[in-house]
Amino acid sequence: MNNLSIDRVEIAESIPEVGITLRLSDASVGDRGVIIDVRADDDGKDHGVDIEELQRRLLEFGFVEGARVEVIHEGAIGHDPIAVRLDDMRVALRRRDAGDVIILLDRP
Amino acid sequence: MSDVALSPARVALVGNPNSGKTALFNALTGSRQKVANYAGVTVERKEGTVTAASGRTIHVLDLPGTYSLRARSPDEAVTRDAVLGQLAGETPPDAIVCVADATNLRLVLRLILELKQVGRPLVLALNMFDIAQRQGLRIDLEGLARDIGAPIVTTVATRKRGIEELVAQIDATTLEAAATVAREWRAPDAGEIRDAHREAQRLMKAHVRPPERPDTLTGKVDGVLLHPVWGLAILLAILLLMFQAVFTWATPLMDLIDAGMTGLGGLVALAIPEGLVRSLIVDGIIAGVGSVLVFLPQILILFLFIIMLEDSGYMARAAFLMDKIMGGAGLHGRAFIPLLSSFACAIPGVMSTRVIDSKRDRLTTILVAPLMTCSARIPVYTLIIGAVIPAKVVGGVFSLQGLVMFGLYAAGILSALGVSFVIRRFLWRGMSEPFMMELPTYKKPDPTNVARSLLQRGQIFMSRAGRIILPLMVLVWFLSTFPYPPAGATGPAIDYSFAGTIGHFIQPLLAPIGFNWQMSVALVPGMAAREVAVAALGTVYAVGDAETNTGGLSARLAEQWSLASGLSFLAWYVFAPQCVATLGVVKRETNSWLWPTVMFVYMITLAYIAALIVYQLTVALGGG
Ligand SMILES: Nc1nc2c(ncn2[C@@H]2O[C@H](COP(=O)(O)OP(=O)(O)OP(=O)(O)O)[C@@H](O)[C@H]2O)c(=O)[nH]1
């Protein structure tokens, strides 16, 4: 998890009027917000399927723009996988596969 | 009644996982159902019939749960092909009944939009309506039915509510729409999935009012069960309870079955004169059936736990908790359930790998499943440990024999993780497929549904294992019986048989790992099933019926085997593919001889290496 904070600085961007956006893969338990983008960006990581297929699977599970997410649980080792509340259902996924889901955090 | 009313209709149940499809199928068809396999694939095919009020027979096909027709696992591919009418040997359904969890509509609405594209008549069964009402969820049924263009029936599958209405609706829909033409279906791309979600969202907004009393229990329970520390502790406790149950509660029943089969053998022996026929029936067939039957109590108890954990919604949590540990070895979180089952027997373990989406993840799991210590190894372990490990207490509390037993279990688990790591590292490089899984709301398992699933899984296990084990037992009987010893021979009869010849033939190969010829001979019949080696050792050491006389055999082995040979035999049994039934099931599940061959070769290689190291090391340390 040490490199996570570095990632977070790189990717998290603060848009003054809008708020903080970050990748779902970098979110911590308690973070909540709304999905603003589900991309098919190659992050250089191996997901076992190609990146378009990963995007389709994410979309199919309900990770779509406009859906509300909240990270509710995480695993004991390396804070992975994570369980999120996605609108009115709960979904578990690995952080490495969640990098293309961009969320806009609610204002505190 | 018109002709049309008399010709039977065929419908297929489709829905998301956990929507209550199986419960609805049971409510519809009761006991008039048949479980078999689809031609060519090993996915279970469940079909039943129900008679409509009109007197018409309706065939109902239960399909594996799916989120989309874009199939990923073998299970989901069957659903897609059945819906599209592309399944070999199956006629396309006259209508599709989409089963939805009324409290979780979003994803199923998208599936419905996809199903609409197929162009077959559709009926929506809005299941779990009791929970929806309890939560104060309001659904505008008329509006929703109009917008999706399909009639809606509300049901409570577990209480059999709404079933008659559903049957009447199916009857009506299939009659009206007798002449619809199926359209071409094409997997949606990302844009189309987004559009479908948008449409589903619009439908939700327009027709569903959020619950007044949403379920808060699941969140609270998850707070404990998914807790990084408590969650793992509870999972461990559940596993311990399960093992306790499988290994201790089952014992009286197993003893009973064992005694029953022995008694039956005795009766038959009385009825049939001494000779070949009697030997075939008693030692081949009855002993063969018995060797499968004796594991049934353990397997049923194991299945009972697994079904309850699945139905309650806990299994998804277990997969969540285990994913990181399994993932480290390149296994999928879902591999947890099959590997767990393999502690009772690798056969149900291999059979339950079907829930794993990706082919590689599934094959990896299948390949390592037999390394988990199955219960057939226990008689062998117990016998050898009793014979060569002194009954000492070490560290004040631990029995040395118990520690060795524990070590053998640990060796099985660690080697399974190690082998899968190697497979994923060198054979199929790259990550296992994304692990994405819905965590369903917790529910109390319904006793009748649990009982029915238990019965079905028990039957499937028996027929599959029985069909493979029986002929093998007969083969092994043949090998150990023929040819007869020459007149005036002094050694045990098996020594002169084909099995004996094979044993003597391979003995030089096994000498470096410390196996004497008796051990080598026992390995041959022991190929049929691991525990058979105990009986075979009894035969070669001529102590009579080894199963009723393990004490005698154990004492005999203690005299004749060195510590090094005993440990080497144990190490061999951790890895050796001494179970043809497992290899047979792997052949069936993978539809190829390649994988059972790979499994056999890698396991026997590991067994030899492990036994070699253990033997040579023990000898070097003075245990020879
Ligand atoms: N309260 C209530 N519970 C239900 C109802 N229908 C099913 N259940 C329960 O929901 C759980 C899941 O039901 P299943 O029938 O196993 O679901 P399924 O869709 O077959 O699930 P998969 O086999 O994963 O596809 C079980 O514990 C059922 O007892 C219902 O109408 N009301």
DSSP collapsed to 3 states, B395-436:
CCCEEHHHHHHHHHHHHHHHHHHHHHHHHHHHHCCCCCCCCE
Q: How far from B618 is each of B386, B409, B460, CA to CA, in Å?
A: 18, 20, 44
**Number of domains within chain A:** 1
State which amino acid sits at residue A48.
G
Q: If residue A14 lies in a helix (H) or strand (E), which one and from where to where? A: strand A13-15
Secondary structure E strands in B475-515: none
Q: What is the mean pLDDT of chain B?
A: 83
Tokens of B376: 């057939």
B87: pLDDT strictly greater than 80 = no
- The whole-angstrom distance between residue B382's C-alpha and the CA centroid of its chain comes to 26
B128: region left, alpha or beta (phi > 0 left; psi from -120 to 50 alpha): left
pLDDT digits (tens, 9 = 90+) for B399-430: 888 888 888 988 998 999 999 989 888 877 76
More confident residue, B142 or B285: B142
* Angstrom distance (rounded) from CA B80 to CA B82: 5
**Does the bond joining B483 to the residue before it have cis omega, within 30 degrees of 0?**
yes
pLDDT digits (tens, 9 = 90+) for B114-128: 888 888 899 999 999
Element (H, E) at A82: strand A82-86
Give chain B's domain count. Answer: 3
Which DSSP letter does residue B161 get?
A: B
In whole angstroms, what separates CA B455 from the centre of its chain? 14
Among candidate residues B196, B172, B205, the one with its CA nearest the CA of residue B117? B196
B240 inside domain = yes
pLDDT band at A6 (very low <50, low <70, confident <90, very high): very low
Residue B146 confidence (pLDDT) above 90: yes
Give the Cα separation of B510 and B69 in Å (integer).
53
Which phi and psi angles does B395 have, rounded to 5°?
60, 20
Residue A29 sits in which domain range? 5-105
Co-location of B134 and B161 in the same domain: yes
Q: Is residue B214 part of a domain?
A: no
Say what the pLDDT of residue A4 is: 40
What ipTM does this complex have? 0.84
Same domain, B164 and B31: yes
Compute the nearest-CA separation of A23 from chain B (Å). 17
Rounded Cα distance, B57 and B71, in Å: 30
CATH code of residue A67: 2.30.30.90
User: Which of B21, B24, B315 has most ligand 1 atoms within 8 Å of CB, for mutation?
Assistant: B21
- Out of A45, A65, A87, the one facing B106 most closely (by C-beta) is A87
Kindly state whether residue B375 falls inside one of the protein's structural domains: yes
Among B589, B240, B301, which Cα is nearest to B457's? B301
Give the domain-ending residue among B514, B532, B561.
B561
Same domain, yes or no: B163 and B239: no
For the cut 90, the answer to whether the pLDDT of residue B100 exceeds it is yes
As for ligand 1, residues whose beta carbon falls within 6 Å of it are B 15, 17-23, 65, 127-128, 130-131, 156-158, 311, 443, 445-446, 449
Residue B576: partners with Cβ closer than 8 Å, 6 or more residues away: B523, B603, B604, B607
Verify that B53 and B130 share a domain, yes or no: yes
What confidence tier does B162 reach under pLDDT thresholds 50, 70, 90? very high
Say whether both B195 and B273 belong to one domain. no
At which residue do the structure tokens 């018409």 appear? B56
CA of B229, closest CA in chain A: separation in Å? 7
**DSSP 3-state of B502:** helix
Residues B259 and B240 grouped into a single domain: no
* B269 and B361 share one domain: no
Contact B99, B125 (CB under 8 A): yes
Q: Does A55 touch chain B (CB under 8 A)?
A: yes
Whether residues B49 and B186 share a domain: the answer is yes
Q: Are residues B236 and B271 in the same domain?
A: no
Residues 6+ apart with CB under 8 A from B314: B225, B238, B442
pLDDT tens for A74-94 read 988 888 899 999 988 899 999
Give the Cα separation of A96 and A63 in Å (integer): 15
In a domain, B576, yes or no: no
Pair of tokens at residue B15 = 């829905």
Residue B160 and residue B83 in one domain: yes
- The Cα B56–Cα B35 span in angstroms is 22
Pick from A54, A50, A26, A22: which is nearest to A36 by CA?
Answer: A22
- B430/A46 touch (CB, cutoff 8 Å), yes or no: yes
In a domain, B475, yes or no: yes
Overall residue count recorded for chain B in this entry = 624
pLDDT tens per residue, range B441-499: 898 888 988 898 888 878 877 776 677 667 767 777 788 777 777 777 666 677 778 88
Q: Is B182 part of any domain?
A: yes
Q: Would residue B6 count as lying in a domain?
A: yes
Pocket perturbation via mutation, ligand 1, pick of B16, B22, B314 by most ligand atoms within 8 A of CB: B22
pLDDT for B523 equals: 84
User: How far, CA to CA in Å, does B386 sit from each of B383, B405, B552, B567?
Assistant: 5, 10, 11, 11
- Backbone dihedral angles phi then psi of residue A67, each to the nearest 5 degrees: -75, 145
Same domain membership, residue B408 and residue B264: no
Q: Looking at the predicted structure, is the pLDDT value of residue B546 above 60?
A: no
**Interchain contact B598–A (C-beta under 8 A):** no
Contact assessment for residue A12 and residue A20, using Cβ atoms and an 8 Å cutoff: yes
Q: Do the chains contact at A72 and B193, CB–CB below 8 Å?
A: no
Q: Is B10 found in the same domain as B123? A: yes
Would you call A92 helix, strand, or coil by DSSP?
A: strand
Of B201, B226, B430, the CB nearest to A48: B430
Q: Which amino acid is at B516?
A: N
Closest C-alpha to B435, from A38, A29, A98, A64 = A98
Q: What is the pLDDT of residue B60?
A: 92
Predicted confidence at residue A11, as pLDDT, reads: 47
Q: Are B103 and B148 in contact (CB under 8 A)?
A: no
- Under the banding of pLDDT at 50, 70 and 90, the label for residue A1 is very low
Q: Beta B122-127 vs B95-101: how paired, if at all?
A: parallel
Distances (CA, A) of B382 to B144, B376, B405, B544: 63, 11, 8, 19
For ligand 1, atom 13: residue with the closest CA: B20
Amino acid at position B523, single letter: L
pLDDT in tens, B556-585: 888 888 899 999 999 999 999 888 888 888
Cis peptide before A81 (omega within 30 of 0): yes
CA B351 to chain CA mean position, Å: 4
Residue whose tokens read 């049924």: B141
Domain of residue B166, CATH code:
3.40.50.300
- Which residues form the domain of B347? 232-245+300-305+313-427
